Amino acid sequence: MKNWNIGIAALAATLSATTAHAGPTLDKVKERGRIVCGASQGTVGFGSPDDKGYWTGLDVETCRAVAVAIFGDKEKVEFVPLSGQQRIPALQTGEIDILPRTLTWTLQRDANGINFTTPTYYEFTGFMVAKSSGVTKVEEMTGASVCVQTGSTTEVVVNDVSTKQNLKLNPVVFDNVAATRQAFFSGRCDALITDAAALASVRATQSDNPDDYVIFPATKYMDALTPAVRHGDDNWLDIVNWSIQALLNAELYGITQANVDEMMGSDDPRVKRFLGMEPGNGKALGLDDKFA
């Protein structure tokens, strides 16, 4: 009986120790009054500013979700456009707080100063070529020149595919996205390589005639595009992870902007915890219980 009581006391202590202390990033972000988000140089659908400068896209929404979790306001974000090569150093040096920029989760990146959070998009790398070339698959690309952006996994994929299939591809490397795409469309390279959905976006929004281009997979391997944070602040990692989970869970529970007030009256314990009607969850992250 005595041991049982000790067990209960220990359990109670564990449960009450769930109020986390805010980490340094959360403190800094609160003091600044906004999140600084590493954005793309413009890929419609993932992240791009409209003609009024307002940013939208899947990656952009990740940062807006974190801003809502902290400030209750999706506009409390500053977007910093970064090239493929600039993006990881910008996170490591503290120039940005979060990097959701069509960023593939790789072991080397993970081991070298950044932490990946939760995948938001699964993707394979693709090639885009002019339809007039008649090329429809990798095996037909022998000797092709390929426009590729430095600082991206696609540089590795070009070499892997070339080696594996003995294609003798010629990478033509650029350090920013506009130059890479422009070079392809002006005929500087036979192919453009990047994430297939980004290729679809580029074809739809930046080509004279989307029907003039075809896209096919460069590899059969799927990558996980995953927002990342710096090493060394677990509280911030948790906040970004649970902000993304909140987006996913809201869909799972059928909670929308339109019905959220009604859902707050739900008698489902999970929904009640999710919406902060039962205390504890937000506080455990150093946030308001209604963060979601």
Ligand X SMILES: N[C@@H](CCC(=O)N[C@@H](CS)C(=O)NCC(=O)O)C(=O)O
Binding of residue 120 to ligand X (CB under 6 A):
no
Q: Which is nearer to ligand X, 149 or 281 (CB)?
A: 149
φ/ψ region of 152 (left if φ > 0, alpha if ψ in -120 to 50, else beta) reads beta
User: What CA–CA distance (Å, rounded) separates 223 from 122?
Assistant: 6
Paired strand residues for 55: 49
In this chain, which stretch among 11-19, 21-29, 38-46, 166-174 interacts with ligand X, using CB under 6 A?
38-46
Interior angle at CA 246, CA 240 and CA 249, nearest 5? 140
What tokens appear for 136 in the block? 């429809």
In this chain, which stretch among 66-74, 101-109, 247-255, 256-264 interacts with ligand X, using CB under 6 A?
101-109
Among 25, 86, 120, 153, binds ligand X (CB under 6 A): 153
Q: Which is nearer to ligand X, 227 or 286 (CB)?
A: 227
Cα dihedral sign, 282-286-291-292: negative
Sequence-ordered list of residues with C-beta below 8 angstroms from that of 170, at least 6 positions apart, any chain: 143, 144, 145, 146
In the range 40-79, which residues lie near ligand X by CB under 6 A? 40-43
Q: Which is nearer to ligand X, 64 or 203 (CB)?
A: 203
Kindly provide the residue ranges of all beta strands, DSSP E only, lying in 165-263, ordered along the sequence: 170-174, 191-195, 213-217, 223-225, 228-230
In the range 191-250, which residues lie near ligand X by CB under 6 A? 194-195, 198, 225
Binding of residue 104 to ligand X (CB under 6 A):
yes
Q: Which is nearer to ligand X, 35 or 39 (CB)?
A: 39
Q: Which is nearer to ligand X, 36 or 103 (CB)?
A: 103
Q: How many CB atoms lie within 10 A of CB 194?
A: 28
Interface residues toward ligand X, by CB under 6 A: 40-43, 84, 102-104, 149, 152-154, 177, 194-195, 198, 225
